[in-house]
Amino acid sequence: MVWIHGDGAIGAGSFFDARRLAITGDVIVVTINYRLGVFGVFGYPGLDGSGTFGLQDQRAALQWVQHNAAAFGGDPKNVTLFGESYGGLATSAHLISPGSRGLFHRAIIQSGFALMDLPAGALYPGVPAVEWFGWQSAAEVEATGAAVAAQLGCTDPTLALECLRRLPVQDLVTLSRPMPFAYGNAVLPEVAADALLKGRFHKVPIMSGSTRDEHRLFVGLFRVLASQPVTAQQYPALLSDAFGDYANAVHAQYPESAFESPSVAWASVLTDRMWARSTFEQHRLFAQRVTTYAYEFADRRSPMYLPFPEDFPPGAFHAAEVPYLFNDDKFDAAANPGQRRLSAQMMRYWANFAHTGNPNGDGLPQWSPFDRDDAVPNIQSLEPDAIKGVDYAAEHHLDFWSQL
């Protein structure tokens, strides 16, 4: 099992303690490093590999596994690629990248956003709408790189790359943030939405899922903890900026009175509209062509390591499931017995899938594949002592969103 960590701007494979996953699941777990932020996806006209350096690092790690897995008792013909958030996005990228074919044989996408757009103001206050969150054309990436080079004093196009390479690393690190992958090149010929819709991806078994309250983390970080909580007066204006003529319909579906605070209401709108809507469509596109197991991590009392106030409960926030797979004494101290049991069950599900392409096993609640033709396609809800199928579309009001 090869793990791609998330964020895209900071992080390291060594942050993830995989010993329990390896022992519980009888698997070899490889955690990797790759170039992040400006070093991973910087683009410039004429720069070979523009916008794809991080993905190429990940591919090099997969090639290393092919050459070295047997030395550790592993099988190079049975490799599962898995990642969360930006790592989930990267896993989707490898599914559609021609050069990654044959380097892995199953894929697990945790809270990836291959098909997600970004309504205005959704991630940060004042940020405009984005058509594809996580992807930009090679031309757009190179144009951004040219603007960054000029900002750093490298204004002569014929000398800009040489100029940039002479700059101290510290000058470039300040520009690092999670950045989109460039498509329209040899590494990523097309945007994920087109590739998945047309079935142009590597046909391997898929496990795919999200958390029940994905966007609470982002509203909590960039609004509540930044002393900019959503107020009752601001909420209608945010809806108007994000949804225009449909704002009143959204407001009626998600009134402030139904939630602990306007901030939670806003987070719920974005969880359903951005995350659940695109995740469900991703399940449908995968399941049309390969065996797909879908899940929702639903433990709304997951250990939270940030000081969110009482009127903003984090719920099953973005990345809440990661410590259940990579846990240590810190998790044990924060988790209750039911959560520790769920952790062990999730490790077995993930490892069983890596072994055979099927997460089921002795003593585990039955997990049926996602069938797009079912009236209620199965999505496994992962919650302490309550693992079962959930009507995901109803839970996240997807019929409502499909009508807008």
Q: pLDDT digit of tens for each residue in the chain (404 aa)? A: 999 999 999 999 999 999 999 999 999 999 999 999 999 999 999 999 999 999 999 999 999 999 999 999 999 999 999 999 999 999 999 999 999 999 999 999 999 999 999 999 998 888 999 999 999 999 999 999 999 999 999 999 999 999 999 999 988 887 777 789 999 999 999 999 999 999 999 999 999 999 999 999 999 999 999 999 999 999 999 999 999 999 999 999 999 999 999 999 999 999 999 999 999 999 999 999 999 999 999 999 999 989 999 899 999 999 999 999 999 889 999 999 999 999 999 999 999 999 999 999 999 999 999 999 999 999 999 999 999 999 999 999 999 999 99
Instruction: Render pLDDT for 314-351 as a digit per residue (tens, 0 to 9).
Output: 999 999 999 999 998 899 999 999 999 999 999 999 99
Q: Cα separation of 209 and 319, whole Å?
A: 11
Instruction: Render pLDDT for 210-222 as a digit per residue (tens, 0 to 9).
Output: 999 999 999 999 9
Q: Cα separation of 137 and 181, whole Å?
A: 8
- Using alpha carbons, select from 102, 98, 52, 96 the residue that is nearest to residue 76: 102
Residue 132: HSE in the Cβ half-sphere, 13 Å Cα cutoff: 17
Q: Cα separation of 376 and 388, whole Å?
A: 13
- Using alpha carbons, select from 203, 209, 212, 201 the residue that is nearest to residue 349: 209
14 is catalytic: no
Residue 101 in tokens: 């074919």
Catalytic residue among 50, 85, 111, 302: 85
Query: 0.75 cut: is pTM over it?
Result: yes
Cα 291 from chain centroid (whole Å) = 20
Instruction: Render pLDDT for 237-261 as a digit per residue (tens, 0 to 9).
Output: 999 999 999 999 999 999 999 999 9
> Is 96 in contact with 200 (CB distance < 8 Å)?
yes
User: At residue 59, what is the residue type?
Assistant: R
Maximum C-alpha span of the chain: 65
